[in-house]
Structure 1
Amino acid sequence: MDSPKSSISSETTTRRFELLCIMMLTFGQLCIMTGYDSQSFILESVIHSIHEKEPERISPYAGYYGQAVCYLAYVTACLFSPSFLYATSAKTTLLISSICFTSFPLGFLFTNSYYYYFSSALNGIGFAFYYTGNGGYITSHSTRQTIESNVSLSWSLGCCCMIVGSIIMAIITSVTQEAAPEILDVLNATMGASVSGHGIERRFGDSEIYLLFSVFAAISSLAIFTFMLLPSQDVSNCIEPSEKLVSFKNGMKLMADTLTSSKMFKLAPTFLLTGIHTSFWLSIFPTTLTFNMHNSKLIYLPAIYGFGIGVGETIMGLIISTLSKRIKDFGLKPTMLIGCVLTTIFCFVAFLSTPFNATVTPSHEDPLLFQPNRVTVFLVAMIGGMSDCCLCSVRSVICALAMPKRRAQAFSVSKIYQSLGSCVIFFISPFLNLYHYVFGIPILCLLAGIFFFRQAGQTQVMERKLTQ
């Protein structure tokens, strides 16, 4: 018979092993997302700068089209990624995802349209595989008592990727742009007449592009080695063992049943909102900061914006985690309401501070009320990060509660709708101006809120019946 002392020692050892696995998983996430999120802030602006120098090399809207291809591949991969997890393992799925992520920034060392779109598609596949593998690995390395703390730890540290990325961008910008003010003065003097004296847009030089994407590729490659070294052994009493009893064929059938579920249809507006809003705050709005000719000398705005997003995500994550322990079901209706309000505020501030056509082309038009500066960009980025954290949190919670026997499939379906929304927006973004986003997204917030509240209420009733 085991003594109490040996039992405590065993529990301590198991917890240490859990933390080791979760920390390695989180470090891998930090590596791949540092590159992806940071480059998304500047992707369209970088592509535009390359096109200005060599028009035949790549389309001026390839930044948006490439992300559309990424999310289209994401939609497709989400259909079979849970079944792939069943057929292989979480570790294998994560390893493949890290290779896909690393392939994308490497393309900017020799920019080519064909490789660019190919690597964008690989990026989308990497997304689907990563999120599926992440969920599978956490559940096989967590017990019922530690799952919440492990998820919170992984989320909080993972959100630091944008802070790390913003610091990298600021350092590289300071190294490569020392002569930027003088160059911009010359360009503004020679081109002032054509742009009404407001200056030219912020442009990225070859050395800055090479350094940025070389560093992003190097950091992403660290995830490959990290996931290779991940322990494969499950912890005792884990929530879901890594050895799956479902075949690939049966997994696809479960996926089809979940995709046609009435619950998923009711939650579709929420998932679409998450995808469209992500496209706006992650790529389209930061592009306007660069395309606004009034900001031509504010070369650190992308770094400041990324830092603000990371801070907002982290703060809201801690708030939700704290209040969820004190207020029952805070992660459902209250968090959704806060997320919709913050999303609307984000759109309203963007409406007041952004030229209407700066989403697709360099603009010297005046904003409706005020020009963005370092402080306002940081504050609006914090709001954007907090709103995204709310929407992503409620998506995860409602998927877990509404379909407890098909969590992996429900989460994949949510990502299908989310990536489908992003895909459509990026494909049509060259034809949209600011007003389409700042009015359309709040309307979608209202629609998503109505359907989400209805489904959340039904889920709470179902839970009460099960516990009676």
Structure 2
Amino acid sequence: MEPTSTTSRRFELLCIMMLTFGQLCIMTGYDSQSFILESVIHSIHEREPARISQYAGYYGQAVCYLAYVTTCLFSPSFLYATSAKTTLLISSICFTSFPIGFLFTNSYYYYFSSVLNGIGFALYYTGNGGYITSHSTRRTIESNVSLSWSFGCCCMIVGSIIMAIITSVTQDQIPQILLENGTQLVDNLHHERRFGDSEIYLLFSVFAAISSLAIFTFMLMPSKDVPNCIESSEKRVSFSEGMKLMADTLKSSKMFTLAPTFVLTGIYTSFWVSVFPTTLTFNMHNSSLIYLTAIYGFGVGVGETIMGIIISTLSKRIKDFGLKPTMLIGCILTTAFCVFALLSTPFDATYTPSHQLPLLFQPTRTTVFLIAIIAGMSDCCLCSVRSVICALAMPKRRAQAFSVSKIYQSLGTCVIFFFSPTLNIYHYALGIPVLCIIACIFFFREARRTQTMERKITQELEDEAEKRRIAKELEAMRQSI
């Protein structure tokens, strides 16, 4: 018995929401810890310099994205060899390994788990793309992508609440550093926001526990495809054939055209996920505002969710809203975020504790929350258009297109993290808007080609259907004679 469209849509939404919940679990830990990673590492280094490098927060993320780039080269072939569900399950195990390391912090496990995290990242997004396309139709792909992304990004809201609760519990245990004369710094205006051992232990224990929930979610997730899905999971290609498809996709002119968009997403991600929240703790004038990072994470989650709902709603009413209109909105919001970051951040707070004054105003709880909303909305736009264009531009190599997009994205992120200890706020605030303009020009060109290709395919399908209808009528007439 064929399922009705209503039943099929319900099953489709069940699959997408389970995927979304799994994303929420693994990203609650990852995104939240990214906000504070460099600050946490810096605090550990100040107490025990021999234990870990002061810039390991940035370098560890660079290693993570380097592993990400490498894994993206073969993750589509791994998807073909296994399944989207298996790929997601393995990725969740890799994600869970990272926060566990902060229960016994040392450099060796830290960088090893960073590599695992990068591998998990690549496998997750490949599995995510494969699962969404096998559980979405052409009519629902834009809606499902934006819903999955926006509600998955509620992880930032969950993470910010966790950080606020744990900070409130441990705020009396403010770590101090002895001066050369043996006295302690107690004036908040003389040092940056610091993280104590108990606060670090509690934070990363909770993040590890939540990440482990994704393992069970992906184990229980349905694997059956929906009717008329974009790409069936039953399709199987050998590992070597998958690698050949990957090589062809890497050389594709479409991917070269879209490269600025993917690189923009990567560079911007490194800025709003790690660099800017680090400035909030490295700004010595903010040391008494111990909840700023939690407020920032909450605002980003709110922004992601709001924009995801907007894109999902308008995509149902406006054809191709998930392409050029969303890209334009995303670039405008990205530029706005960079401007506000420039005006509210000491120029050197991106890489060292700073007592300098910002250009225009000091961050407050309200301004940080509003800036964070802009960050979340802009990121949702950029990530949505990336997912949609990859699903539509190369219909025969979607998994490879997703992976190539992540290669370019993670290369941009990796380079920025390696150079982060030398970049000030002006480099980010001026460079990213310029890249937005370049990305928009090339994205609009490829989106136009994709729309033309879709119209041609649609017309061919309609012509074929019309031929079949005429043939049936002629056959009926012959039988009646």
- TM-score, scaled to structure 1: 0.92
2-structure distance, mates of 1:278, 1:203: 24
- Which residue matches 1:307? 298
What does the per-residue CA deviation read over 1:369-390, in whole Å, with 9 as the maximum and x for residues that have no partner?
1100000000001111111111
Say whether 1:28 aligns with 2:14: no
Unaligned runs of 5+ in 2: 460-481
Q: Which amino acid aligns with 2:263?
A: L
What amino acid is the match of 2:324?
K
Whole-angstrom distance in 2 between the partners of 1:319 and 1:17: 23
Instruction: After superposing the two structures, state which structure 1 stretch, 61-70 or 136-145, moved more.
Output: 136-145
Alpha-carbon separation, structure 2, partners of 1:126 and 1:83:
15
Instruction: Give the whole-Å Cα distance in 2 for the aligned partners of 1:277 and 1:230.
Output: 32
Q: TM-score, normalised by structure 2?
A: 0.90
Counterpart pick for 2:128 among 115, 127, 134: 134
Tell me whether 1:443 sits opposite 2:437 in the alignment: no
Instruction: Tell me the equivalent position of 1:346.
Output: 337
Q: Report the Cα distance in structure 1 between the residues aligned to 2:443 and 2:209, rounded to whole angstroms.
A: 41
* 1:287 and 2:281 aligned: no
Bigger drift between 447-456 and 350-359 goes to 447-456
Q: Is 1:407 paired with 2:401?
A: no
User: How far did residue 198 of structure 1 move?
Assistant: 3.4
| CA drift at 1:19 | 3.7
445, 449, 452: which is aligned to 1:454?
445
CA offset digits 1:163-191 (Å, max 9, x no partner):
000000000000010454x979x9xx954
Q: What residue in structure 2 maps to residue 431 of structure 1?
A: 422
Alignment of 1:98-109 (within 5 A): 98-109=92-103
Change (3 A) 1:147 1:388: closer
State the match for 2:167 in structure 1. 173
Is 1:384 aligned to residue 378 of structure 2?
Answer: no
CA distance in 2, matches of 1:318, 1:264: 28
Separation in structure 1 between the aligned mates of residue 404 and residue 247 of structure 2, nearest angstrom:
9
Q: Does the C-alpha gap of structure 1 residues 105 and 292 become closer, same or farther in structure 2, counting only changes over 3 Å? A: same
Query: In the alignment, what sits opposite 1:159?
Result: 153
Instruction: Call closer, same or farther: CA 1:337–1:150 in 2, change over 3 Å.
Output: closer
* Offset, 1:324: 2.1
**C-alpha distance in 2, partners of 1:20/1:322?**
19
Alignment-derived partner of residue 260 in structure 1: 251
- Hey, what does 1:51 align to over in structure 2? 45
Counterpart pick for 2:76 among 74, 82, 86 = 82
Matches within 5 A, 1:186-225: 191=185, 198-225=189-216
The structure having more radius of gyration, on CA atoms, is: 2
Q: Sequence identity, in percent?
A: 83
Distance in 2, Cα, partners of 1:26 & 1:110: 31
Which amino acid in the other structure matches residue 92 of structure 2? S
Alignment partner of 1:228 is 2:222: no
2:366 is the alignment partner of 1:372: no
Task: State the 1:465 CA deviation.
Answer: 3.2
Q: Is contact 2:149–2:380 with CA below 8 Å preserved after alignment?
A: no
The residue number in structure 1 matching 2:104 is 110
Deviation at 1:13, TM superposition (A): 5.3
3-state SS of 2:21 partner = helix
Per-residue deviation, 1:132: 1.1
Q: Is the 8 A contact 2:176 2:185 kept in 1?
A: no
SS at match of 2:190: coil
**1:395-426: CA deviations, max 9, x gaps?**
11222222122111111111100000000000
CA offsets per residue over residues 126-166 of structure 1, 9 Å max, x none? 01111111222233334555545543432232121100000
Distance 1:87 1:230 in 2: 19
Q: CA RMSD in A?
A: 2.2
| Separation in structure 1 between the aligned mates of residue 141 and residue 278 of structure 2, nearest angstrom | 38
What is the deviation of 1:259?
Answer: 0.5
Cα distance change on mapping 1:258 and 1:354 into 2, 3 Å: same
Post-superposition shift, 1:15? 4.6
